[in-house]
Chain A
Amino acid sequence: MSDPQDTPTSYVREPEGTHPALDSPEYRSSALRHPARPLLYLPQDVTEITGPQLGPERVTEGDHDLTRQHAELPIGERIILTGRVIDTDGRPLAGTLVEIWQANAAGRYRHGRDDWDAPLDPNFSGAGRCLTDEHGRFRFITVKPGAYPWGNHYNAWRPAHIHFSLLGRAFAQRLVTQMYFPADPLFAYDPIFQSVRDPAARERMIARFSIAETVPSWAQAYEWDIVLRGPGATPFEHAL
């Protein structure tokens, strides 16, 4: 994973529409929080093609298992959540930090500002971390989060989701996103999910059920691959 020959010296510029528009009026909180002026072009130089590699400092044994952080097991449907972190060329990103956080099975976050009237679970904190293996694979054990109401519009509910944070190997690859569960009826009404305008791109945020990863008599599994942008066409000039 540290072979210099294997390290991109530039990253592909993502096509328009890859990510949601920062100004997405249906998501009301974006109104005053999006830059109104056009983004300016930033060449990719050494600061952009390097990046932090947070390893043992951030991850300790067991951090991948959100069901084993307290004395008892949390309430809810235990699930395995696994997948690979790859780049747009299909190359696995090994040893990269994956951080997740989520609501509990009732849809409540363990956070002082979450005032929804759903129970907290004394056995669930809702945060996990791991490093990908040599194939770029991650694996978490957790409980399926619940949907929850929010104040964006009348009768607004967020579809069940798990927040994901990826560092990749370069500043240019940094990604924060959310993973959803298959066939959620709330998709049609959620302005955050719908902020990704391309239906095919929305599908890339939805995990799939995996009977192969499901462990008999223990936990169902969901599989989700995360794609970070890969090498660009233009080599970094210092590398020549």
Chain B
Amino acid sequence: MIFAPTPSQTVGPFFSIGLPWPAGPDAVAPGTPGELTITGHVYDGAGELVPDNLIETWQPDPDGRFADLYGYGYEAGPSRLAGFRGFARSGAEIGDGSWTVRTVKPGPLPGLGGAEQAPHIDVSVFARGLLHRCVTRIYFADEPEANGRDAVLRSVPADRRETLLAVPTDDGYRFDIHLQGPRETVFFAL
């Protein structure tokens, strides 16, 4: 490390001037087979909604391939799913504390040491009042076997794993984020 990193600052209020755009919440092209919605609310330590939240998600396609232009040493190669971006940004600041992205369920991935990783989505949480992003992962409650083998999930104390599980709904999944409090979401140091 020759140069020191630039420090983070809060995304602040009013970020919707610059960051969201109409297609931002779409990690897949509209009409992609298997398209689903992941939605939830963000809560603070008093259980109040956080209306000025910005959520970003990053994931592979159902075959475990990423929409990444760079060679990253991962033998699967880039995604072949038409219109797949794998990245979504929800940040409308519409005031009800909700967030929503449209995507497809990610496939499993090879993991460190030859183990398989359960399907998951990486998440960055930004908000006014957060001086640095919080990183978490969405796993899927309807993948109990894969989840039971996942090294990252297994590293999380059993009584907190549930905070990382998206729950099936009629059109996808629900994933609430608790920044603080008794149901505080597990956040990671990356």
What residues of chain A have their CB less than 8 Å away from a CB belonging to chain B?
1-5, 7, 9, 12-14, 18-22, 24, 27, 29-37, 39-54, 57-58, 86-90, 99-101, 109-111, 113-114, 125-128, 163, 165, 169, 171-172, 174-178, 192-193, 195-196, 200-202, 204-205, 226-230, 236-239
Q: Is B186 an interface residue (CB 8 A)?
A: yes
Q: How far is the CA of A193 from the CA of B8 in the complex (A)?
A: 10
| Contact partners of A113 in chain B: CB under 8 A | 13-14, 93
Residue ID in chain B nearest A103 by CB atoms: B14
Q: Please report the total number of B residues contacting A with Cβ < 8 Å.
A: 78
For the complex, what is the distance from the CA of A216 to the CA of B67, rounded to whole Å? 44
Q: Is the interface of B mostly helix, strand, loop or mixed?
A: loop
Q: What are 20 pairs between A and B in contact, CB < 8 Å?
A: A18-B4, A33-B129, A34-B130, A39-B187, A39-B188, A43-B151, A47-B58, A48-B122, A50-B66, A50-B70, A171-B58, A171-B190, A176-B10, A178-B12, A196-B7, A196-B9, A201-B4, A201-B7, A204-B5, A229-B1
Instruction: Name the residue of chain B whose CB is nearest to the CB of A23.
Output: B131
Instruction: Say if the beta carbon of B46 comes within 8 Å of chain A.
Output: yes
B109 touches A47 (CB 8 A): yes
Q: Which residues of B contact A127 (CB under 8 A)?
A: 17-18
Give min CB distance, A231 to chain B, whole Å. Answer: 9
- The interface residues of chain B lying within 8 Å CB-to-CB of A205 are 6-7, 9
CA distance A183 to B109 in the complex (A): 49
Q: Are B152 and A43 in contact (CB under 8 A)?
A: yes
Asked if B17 contacts A99 (CB within 8 A), the reply is: no
Query: Which of A9, A50, A58, A204 gathers the greatest number of chain B CB atoms within 10 Å?
Result: A50
How many whole Å from A141's CB to the nearest CB in chain B?
A: 16
User: Are A165 and B19 within 8 A (Cβ)?
Assistant: yes
Tell me which residues across on chain A come within 8 A of B25, comparing CB atoms: none
CB distance from B23 to the nearest CB of A (A): 7
Q: Is the CB of A111 within 8 A of B17?
A: yes
Q: Is B140 an interface residue (CB 8 A)?
A: no
CB B108 to nearest CB in A, in angstroms, measures 11
Tell me which residues from 79 to 122 in chain B have a Cβ below 8 Å from any Cβ of chain A.
85-87, 93, 109-113, 117, 120, 122
Contact: A40 with B187, CB < 8 Å? yes
State whether A109 and B187 are in contact (beta carbons under 8 Å apart), knowing that A30-B130, A35-B134 are contacts in the complex: no
Interface string of B150-190 (1 = CB under 8 A from A): 01100110000000000000000000000111001111111
